[in-house]
Structure 1
Amino acid sequence: MKNMLTGIRSTGNPHLGNILSVIIPSINMITNKKYSSFIFIADLHSIIQTENIQYIKNSTYNIVATWLAFGLNTENSILYRQSDVTEVTELAWYLSCFFPYKRLTLVHSFKKEENKSKINVGLFTYPILMAADILLYNAEIIPVGKDQLQHIEIARRIAYFFNKKIGKKVFSLPNPFLQEKSMFITGTDGSKMSKSKNNYIDIFSSDEILKKQIMNIKTDSKSLEEKKNPDPNKDYIMYLYKLVAPKNKVENMKKKYVKGGYGYSEAKMALYEEIIHKFSTERNKFFSIIKNKSLLDKILFSGAKKAKSIAINRMNYIRKCLNFKPLFSLKKMS
């Protein structure tokens, strides 16, 4: 089987966009047993822009609890914390020596920053670390959104340059796995759902906070009596409702929009109630699991042990290709 890899940064709970575009599709792929799966909590990536280390630790627990709440089976997948497998940082250094500086200056995350003097080296080079995450396990299938395609292309280029320089196929070339829902999940303001933009919906927040997030969805100024545009591409409430509600409920809301006499507040309440209903099982599981930190630590330790065993073997092979001696054998781990 081919290896599949995906990761989520430990910056709070995974939001609705993460769940619909990454977590649910990945679990479905794992359940169908099409791929060997590696799922990591990207805490090394998180410290690039987060100074609160305790926040990162708590977020790591939240992400693990989310995966478990949605039914991830850790027996047939490897769930681990990125920082527990330090071989990835060693590989990132090797890869950085095989990639041109100028190409990194073209990365979207770097180019969009207006004040370059405030950018730390981690933010500039994190596409290299991302490539190391992928290439360390020879992952060939990477579930991503459209905005992450550039990073997969960078990983492919680095793998190609490395293989060419060494003269053998050390790394497989990764491929993005795009699904319709992963292309673009709209936030409450109409742009891509993101914690940094504060336009996200957190299904694991309290009922009060969840309702407040949904009530903040941007709308036009049409009155209660006026007809509304039911096109999901024009109305953000309808767009999100279509993602979570069954087809008959979506059609019913569209009829109310066209008829008039149906306000945006009512539509937002319908969305809120649908999210509460649709994810009731997952919410209950999450709130139960998150209380058991010892269980979460046990799962992370088990996943790290599996991932590290594979990483050590891979790094010893890569070190050999670079004429470096292996650090230690797997026998010394016991």
Structure 2
Amino acid sequence: MYRIRFHGRGGQGMKTAGRILGSTFFLAGFEVQDAPRYGAERRGAPIFAYVRASKTPIFERGIITRPDLIIVADDHLPAIPGAGVLVGAGEQTVFLIHSNEKAALWKERLNLQGQVFTLPVLTDSELRFRGAACAGGAAALLEELNIDLLVEAVQEELAPLGSVLVEANCTIARAAYNALVEHRGAAHEGGPVSATEYTPPNWLTLPCDAPLLSAPAIHAPATSELTQTGLWRSEHPLIDTSRCNRCWWICSTFCPEGAIQVDAARRPHIDYAHCKGCMVCLAQCPTHAITAIPEEEAAAQGESP
């Protein structure tokens, strides 16, 4: 059975990548499971999606802890323990990382035992198709899948988006597949998981507190200000003051985090320490005065706090 995990951030298309790869397997005659896994849904937060594929019925359920192939869409994630990128990785695990860095550097940096490949980095205009690129790169490393099945899966899964976006995703998926097809067959099916070798989670047993201590209560105001959610962003919103009509109540009201503040002259300002990059303000601005650039570009320009 193939056990595959896609790691990325909310909004980067990992759910889409899992669906596309799962459909590609299905078209190749496999039994398939594919599902995303995330906590509270928020743009920019680490998430993962998993795919199981087998020629026989699949009885496994839940999170994949012994992956045969791990695809990482954001090369900042391996450094975040909570993202769980390295969980269960062993000698049989193949890594595919979307990064400008060399594969050999990632192998050394993460002390990986299996093969490591890098997915050609997309341009800023192509980043919204990252899910299709990850699915295409993954398909290229699997012996039983081919580019025709991949394109058919993209067309089936993304058909509701319209022909223009479908073709754009197909183009990106083809490019990623062709960039890695020379390594076809690098990822192999893992063996069955034995129930007798199962290691249960290392649960923590916490004692119960007295009712007055454990009862839900807020003992101090404004503590949410101490949590800087700006670290979640993958896109950085910017306000063009020359186009802003100072209809401040729209963007500040729709911001779910209250991260848009208004000064005495009725001009909105973004609190980047607490802006999580959901881009609701961009969608609601009637004059299109709010735009966005990738967070890395903003950091390079000194825009990020």
TM-score, normalised relative to structure 1? 0.28
- Greater strand fraction, Structure 1 or Structure 2: 2
- Greater helix fraction, Structure 1 or Structure 2: 1
TM-score, normalised relative to structure 2? 0.29
Q: Which has the higher contact order (CA 8 A, sep 6+)?
A: 1
